[in-house]
Structure 1
Amino acid sequence: MRASERLAWAAGIVAPGDTDRVLEVGCGHGVLVSLLAARTARGQVVAVDRSATMTTAAQRRNTDAVAQGRVRLVTSTLLGADLGTTPFDVVTSFDVRAFWTPPAPEWDVVRRVLAPGGRVVVAFSVMGPGADERIRTAVRRLAGERGFTEHAVHRAGDLSTPSAAIELRAGHDG
């Protein structure tokens, strides 16, 4: 199955390095996991989804990468996930409302697992006029309460479903 254009766009924004550890929150069917794993030949993608149905689908899609240890799937909420002790270079999500819906304790987990100098990319579909700015404002506020600042905003209005991504970094570099 071909990756959706918006997830391919998001993978390009996340743009992990060859050895990066990436955490994807809300991995769904594992499409973005596949795209990210292809870019991290010597790194690892850890993907979390609260639905066993979704992580099973992601497992099927990424069988080889899982067998090679380049992808690890976790069926859990982010708050309950065992993410180990090795920090992540990048944390990303696509259309995970928890990152812009108060009280958003997920940001506390992200803060804890992100490596010094790491990045967070929160991507989302722009489903109507003004949605982009509303979500961006909410993400900035909720992430800002945990010490993150907006580093860049990316927009893809030319996709079949317009999308945006907010890139954040920890205020004191980690």
Structure 2
Amino acid sequence: MAPSRAARPGPTASARLTWMAGVVAAAPGERVLEVGCGHGVLVDLLAAAGGEVLAVDRSPSMAAAAVRRNRARVDAGAVAVQAAGLLEADLGFRPVDVVVSFDVRAFWTPPAPEWDAVARVLAPGGRVLVGFSVMRPGAADDIAAAVDRLASARGLRAVGLHRGATAPFPSAAVELRAAAEVTRTG
């Protein structure tokens, strides 16, 4: 049986967001928080895995576009979109299994108070993936170090750096876990 249309990336999914969805590899039943969801393309790809996606974007027009793109899943309760910055968003009381962002500079530019919100909502054993476009040689390592430094102040540690040969620029994603999880497993 062929996969349903909702389970496949739409024709406007960029190579970088398709790659990022593969790195996240959201599992059915996982609760995912996407920060800076834009038009909701990555939301669509993440929700196709069968989990619950909470998406935030500080731009009301981007949040509205994400709702339009994901209308069926919003109506079904599988996707929720908020027009708010991460610090102002109502993230609810249930922890999230995965936090994901792509090209959200707040995660590597001090003082990065967004990490406080991430640390507060991340479930035990949860993971964070901070993706970004690599615009110059060496940028992936520089950004990964900045992400690790800022996140470590909130009890998270980098456990890997994923690299993707996407167009028009390469992509990278820092994967993080709670420091206690890193110590226990690694």
User: 2:19·2:166 contact (CA, 8 Å) conserved in 1?
Assistant: no
- Rounded Cα–Cα distance in structure 2 between residues aligned with 1:35 and 1:78: 21
Quote the residue 2:167 is aligned against.
Answer: 159
Query: What pairs up with 1:1-174 in 2 under 5 angstroms?
Result: 1-39=11-49, 41=50, 43-173=51-181
**3-state secondary structure, aligned to 1:151:** strand
- Rounded Cα–Cα distance in structure 2 between residues aligned with 1:47 and 1:6: 18
CA RMSD of aligned residues (A): 1.1
Is the alpha carbon distance of 1:158 and 1:76 closer, same or farther for their aligned partners in structure 2, counting shifts above 3 Å?
A: closer
- Say how many residue pairs are matched: 172
**3-state secondary structure, aligned to 1:173:** helix
User: 2:57·2:63 contact (CA, 8 Å) conserved in 1?
Assistant: yes
- Rounded Cα–Cα distance in structure 2 between residues aligned with 1:173 and 1:133: 23
Structure 1 length as normaliser, TM-score?
Answer: 0.96
- For structure 2, the residue ranges without an aligned partner over 5 or more in a row are 1-10
Report the Cα offset of residue 162 of structure 1.
Answer: 0.4
- For structure 1, the residue ranges without an aligned partner over 5 or more in a row are none
Q: 1:90-124 CA distances to partner (integer Å, 9 max, x unpaired)?
A: 00000000000000000000000000000000000
**3-state secondary structure, aligned to 1:102:** coil
**3-state secondary structure, aligned to 2:68:** helix
- Structure showing greater Rg: 2
User: Which stretches of structure 1, 4 residues or longer, exceed 4 Å deviation after superposition?
Assistant: none
Letter aligned with residue 48 of structure 2: A
